[in-house]
Structures are given as C-alpha cells and as structure tokens.
Amino acid sequence: MTPTLHRRLASLVCAVLLPLGHATPVTPTPLVEDVPFITTPDHVAVAMLEMGGVGAKDHVIDLGSGDGRIVITAAKRFGASGVGVEIVPELVAQSREHARRAGVEARTRFEVQDLFATELAPATVVTMYLLPEVNLALRPRLLALAPGTRIVSHDWDLGDWLPDRTLTLAVPQKTIGLEKTSRLHLWTVPAKVDGLWCAAGGASLRIEQRYQALQATLDDGPERRSYSGRIDGTTLHLLGSGGLAWIASATDEQLRTAPAAGSSAAPTWRRSTGAECP
Ligand SMILES: C[S@@+](CC[C@H](N)C(=O)[O-])C[C@H]1O[C@@H](n2cnc3c(N)ncnc32)[C@H](O)[C@@H]1O
C-alpha cells in the first residue's frame, strides 16, 4: 500500500468515528478538511494507559495524537516519556502548548508526521485511536516490535490478531448511537518462537505459533507429548494433559525453562536452523 493511500485511509478515521458518537471537537482551529479531529475522553485515556501498564520506565507513542492528551496524561499521571505524531500542524502546536502548561515538556515530544512514516521501535507502549483498516495496515509493523511491547487501541481491533484483553467503558457523553461505550483492546507483542528447538540430550520441541497461541510437540526418545499454550511477551506457558507443564522464557536463540517447570523439561533449548535436532 502506498503512503498516499495510507494517508487517505487514516484521514477517514474520524469521519467513521463521528457517527459512532465519539465526537468531542475541542478546538475551533480550522483543520485539514478531510482529517477531522476527535478526542479520546480523559477517563478513557487514563483507562488505556492503565490497561497498557504504563509506568515511569515506559515510552509511549500515540499514533495520530490529536491534541496530545494521551501522551501528556502518560507523562503527567504515570511518569512516562512519550511522543505524539500527528499530521495536522495546528494540533501539534496545541499539543506542545498543552504539554508546556501541564509541566511535562521535558518528557514529551510532538511531531508533525505521518504515522506510517513513524519509527515505532523506541515505544514500549503504542496507543492509537484510528480506523480498522489503518490498524490492519499497521499490524505487521506492530507485530515486529520488541516482544513485551504493549499496544492499546481505542474501539478498533487488529483483525485476527486477537487482543489479550478487551474492556468496555461507559462513555455517557457520547451523543450518537445506542451504546454509550468505548471498547479498549490490549495486545502484548509476542516473542517469535515458531520452529524447532533442541535440548542438549537430543530432545526436540517443535512449536507452531499463531500470534500468542502455541501448539508444541516434544520428542524425547520414545516419549512424545503434545502441549497447547500461549506466549505472553517472552514467557511461554504450555499445558499438557495434566495441566501446566512448562513455563519458559524466550530469547531469539534460546528457551530457558523455569525451575518450577515439569521434570521432563530440559533447562535450555536452542533454536535449530536445520530440519531435525542433532
Ligand atoms: C480519532 S483522532 C485521535 C486523537 C488522539 N489520539 C486521541 O485519542 O484523543 C485521530 C487523529 O489522527 C490524526 N491522523 C489521521 N491520519 C494521520 C496520519 N496519516 N498520520 C498522523 N496522524 C494522522 C488525525 O488528524 C486525528 O487527530
């Protein structure tokens, strides 16, 4: 998809949200005609940041940052640093002024920038209030972020990348629509553990991964066992017929099982580049 098409998609964000009753136009400033601005209500912004577990060590990037309130709240209330990217220059100027008044200038930055051209890697938390199509266009880049990075989206999901958690909040100020609610979705970027892992004694663990969901098969001599489970950031939980069988932490090259894990789990597994374990 070209950047221009991305921009056109993104510019529809608020046009779609308006009929859903989220509109809270807070500025009389003339805006770029096809990029109207809609805010996340303050209590919803706080809930998004709480849901993302935002704290003083976090760096929040808000994609399409509007008047800057999510990044400013992240800094003022949660002690985080943050960056807001927004294509409407007047909104960026407003955001900078709001940050100055809130006393969080030093920990926040606002840039006039296309969200599709934004470097996302520094984020520990990404927030967004965009459109379903825009979320989907962003999904490969979100999925490629460091394992453990949290993503919080207001109202729209990420298609078949199912959220870890969804929260529905009352938003009484919604003026249109039958349901006066906002839905918030949280994802934690999973480590990529799909493939074959080998233990020192010759055992193999073959993992099939779909986003956070895992299926695994252990082959250890005559023993063959199947597990299903999940990965939360870098932590795997694999369940066997008797319940929780494995807990392991993942890096790109290694799985390390927790001491409490089942006795059949070797302590360390290395990623195999071949089709079989040696
Ligand atoms: C629904 S508003 C959300 C504002 C803010 N994040 C909030 O939740 O209060 C979406 C914002 O995205 C901005 N936007 C739309 N397309 C964009 C793009 N391609 N790059 C950066 N910002 C964009 C719009 O100008 C608008 O301010």
- Residue found by looking up tokens 């063959």 in the block: 224
Q: Return the exposure string of 168-181: e unless at least 16 CB atoms fall within 10 Å of the residue's CB, then b.
A: ebebeebeeeeeeb
Instruction: Give the Å distance between the CA of 31 and the centre of ligand 1.
Output: 12
Which residues approach ligand 1 with their CB closer than 6 A?
7, 10-11, 13-14, 17, 35, 37-40, 62, 64-66, 69-70, 85-88, 91, 114-116, 129, 154
The helix (H) or strand (E) run that includes residue 185 is strand 181-188
pLDDT at 34: 38
pLDDT digits (tens, 9 = 90+) for 30-80: 333 333 578 999 999 999 999 999 999 999 999 999 999 999 999 999 999
Q: Write down the pLDDT at residue 166.
A: 98
Q: Give the per-residue pLDDT at 209.
A: 98
CA dihedral of residues 12, 14, 17, 22 (deg, nearest 10):
180
- Which candidate, 14, 137, 2, 20, places its Cα nearest to that of 64? 14
Q: Is 119 a residue whose pLDDT tops 60?
A: yes
Average pLDDT over residues 210-216: 97
Q: Is the pLDDT confidence value at 18 over 90?
A: no
> What's the confidence (pLDDT) of residue 19?
40
Tally Cβ neighbours within 10 Å of residue 117: 11
**How far is ligand 1, taken at its centre, from the CA of residue 125, in Å?**
17
CB 159 within 8 A of CB 139: yes
C-alpha 229/C-alpha 239 separation (Å) is: 6
Q: Which atom of ligand 1 is nearest to the CA of 85?
A: 21
Q: Could you tell me the distance, in angstroms and rounded to a whole number, from the CA of residue 64 to the centre of ligand 1?
A: 3
Confidence of residue 16 (pLDDT cuts 50, 70, 90): very low
Domain boundaries defined on the chain: 3-188, 195-271
> Residue 214: beta bridge partners?
209, 229
More confident residue, 107 or 7: 107
Average pLDDT over residues 5-30: 43
Contact in structure between 270 and 197 (CB atoms under 8 Å): yes
Question: Which residue has its alpha carbon closest to ligand 1 atom 8?
Answer: 40
How many A from CA of 212 to the centre of ligand 1? 28
DSSP 3-state assignment of 231? strand
Pick among 3.40.190.10, 3.40.50.150, 3.90.105.10, 3.40.630.10: CATH of 3-188:
3.40.50.150
Distance CA(35)–CA(7), nearest Å, equals 10
Mutate to test the pocket of ligand 1, among 34, 85, 86 (most ligand atoms within 8 A of CB): 86
- Give per-residue pLDDT as tens, 231-277: 999 999 999 888 888 899 999 999 999 865 555 677 899 999 888 99
Do residues 154 and 129 make contact, with C-beta atoms less than 8 angstroms apart?
A: yes
3-state secondary structure of 28: coil
Which residue's C-alpha comes closest to atom 11 of ligand 1? Answer: 64
State yes or no: pLDDT of 22 exceeds 50: no
Rounded-to-integer distance, Cα 136 and Cα 6, Å: 11
Contact in structure between 234 and 188 (CB atoms under 8 Å): no
